[in-house]
Structure 1
Amino acid sequence: MRFLRSLTASAAALLIAQPALAQAKPDLDPAVWLVKDADTTIYLFGTVHALDGKGDWFNDEVKASFDASQELVLEIITPEDPAAVAPLVKKHGIDTSGKTLTSKLSPKHQAIMAERLKTLGMPANALDMFRPFFAAMTLTVIDMQAMGIDPNSGAEKVLTKAAKDRKITIGEVESMEQQMMMLNALDEKEQVRLLEKTLEESTEAKETLGKMIAAWGKGDAEGVASVLNETSKESPALYKLLLTDRNKAWAEWVDNRLDKPGTVFMAVGAGHLAGPDSVQRFLKDRGIASSRISAPAN
Structure 2
Amino acid sequence: MKKLLQSSFLFLATLTGGIVNAQTTANSSLLWEISGNGLQKSSYLFGTVHMMCESDFKMADKTKTAFAKSDKLALEIDMDDPVELMIMQQAAMSKEPLSKTLSSEDYQKLDAFLLKKMGQNAKAYESYSLTTIMSMVMFKSLGCPPKMYELEFMQMAMAKKIETVGLEKIKAQLEFLGNAYSDKEIISQLEHYDSVYFKDLMAIYNSEDIQKIHNMSTDPKFMNEEDRKWMLDIRNNNWAKKMPELMKDQSVFFAVGAAHLGGEQGVVQLLKNAGYTVKPIVK
1:248 to 210, 216, 237: 237
Map residues 195-214 of structure 1 onto 2, 5 A cutoff: 195-202=186-193, 205-214=194-203
Q: Is the 8 A contact 1:32 1:44 kept in 2?
A: yes
Counterpart in the other structure of 1:118:
115
Shift of the 149–268 alpha-carbon distance from structure 1 to 2, 3 Å rule, reads: farther
Map residues 1-298 of structure 1 onto 2, 5 A cutoff: 10-12=8-10, 27-28=21-22, 31-37=30-36, 38-78=39-79, 85=85, 88-90=88-90, 94-96=94-96, 100-102=100-102, 104=103, 107=105, 109-119=106-116, 120-128=118-126, 134-148=129-143, 150-151=145-146, 153-184=147-178, 186=179, 190-202=181-193, 205-231=194-220, 234-258=223-247, 260-295=248-283
State the distance in 2 between where 1:172 and 1:77 align: 4
Structure 2 counterpart SS, 1:54: helix
The count of aligned residue pairs is 264
Q: What runs of 5+ residues in structure 1 fail to find an aligned partner? A: 1-7, 15-24
State the distance in 2 between where 1:195 and 1:26 align: 30
1:268 offset after TM fit, Å?
0.5
User: What do the CA deviations read for 1:126-158 (whole angstroms, capped 9, x no partner)?
Assistant: 44555xxx414422432233313545x211111
State the distance in 1 between where 2:98 and 2:214 align: 39
Counterpart in the other structure of 1:21:
none
Structure 2 counterpart SS, 1:294: coil
Q: Is the 8 A contact 2:112 2:121 kept in 1?
A: no
1:76 offset after TM fit, Å?
1.8
- Could you tell me the TM-score, scaled by structure 1's length? 0.75
State the distance in 1 between where 2:42 and 2:221 align: 32
Measured on the aligned residues, the alpha-carbon RMSD in Å equals 3.3
Q: Is the 8 A contact 1:69 1:265 kept in 2?
A: yes
Identity of aligned residues (%): 21
State the distance in 2 between where 1:200 and 1:13 align: 16
Shift of the 94–55 alpha-carbon distance from structure 1 to 2, 3 Å rule, reads: closer
User: What do the CA deviations read for 1:260-285 (whole angstroms, capped 9, x no partner)?
Assistant: 21211110011101233210121222
Q: Is the 8 A contact 1:48 1:269 kept in 2?
A: yes
Shift of the 214–226 alpha-carbon distance from structure 1 to 2, 3 Å rule, reads: same
1:180 offset after TM fit, Å?
2.0
Q: Is the 8 A contact 1:208 1:227 kept in 2?
A: no
Counterpart in the other structure of 1:19:
none
**Structure 1 stretch displaced more, 225-234 or 110-119:** 225-234
What amino acid does structure 1 have at the position aligned with 2:94? Answer: I
State the distance in 2 between where 1:76 and 1:283 align: 20
Shift of the 219–240 alpha-carbon distance from structure 1 to 2, 3 Å rule, reads: same
Structure 2 counterpart SS, 1:39: coil
- Could you tell me the TM-score, scaled by structure 2's length? 0.78
Structure 2 counterpart SS, 1:177: helix
